[in-house]
Amino acid sequence: MPRSTSSGTPNAQCAALNHYSIQVGIGRDLSGRFAEEWVGQSVKAKRLLPPERVYPVPRAIAGALDIDE
């Protein structure tokens, strides 16, 4: 049964999951090292991508999507 929010309404985000998981903590030093390595990898990966281009969007579509022209 889903738990309720403070207002008493059911909240699906608080519902129990029908599977189990194990959480393993890592130390501050290791998490910092991972973050630095991952950021470095993303910088390298961006160099491999083609340059970004702006594509024209018809006014009607831009208005519907709330896009600045």
pLDDT of 8: 55
Evaluate whether residue 5 is within a structural domain: no
pLDDT of 24: 80
C-alpha radius of gyration, the chain, whole number: 22
Residue in this structure with the two tokens 């281009």, named with its chain if needed? 53
Evaluate whether residue 59 is within a structural domain: yes
Evaluate whether residue 39 is within a structural domain: yes
Q: In terms of residue numbers, what domain contains 32?
A: 12-65
pLDDT of 67: 87
Dist. CA 33–CA 35, nearest whole Å: 5
In order along its 69 residues, the chain shows pLDDT tens digits of: 445 455 555 555 667 777 787 778 888 888 888 888 888 888 888 889 999 898 899 999 999 999 876
Structural domain total, the chain: 1
- Closest by alpha carbon to 68, among 41, 57, 17? 57
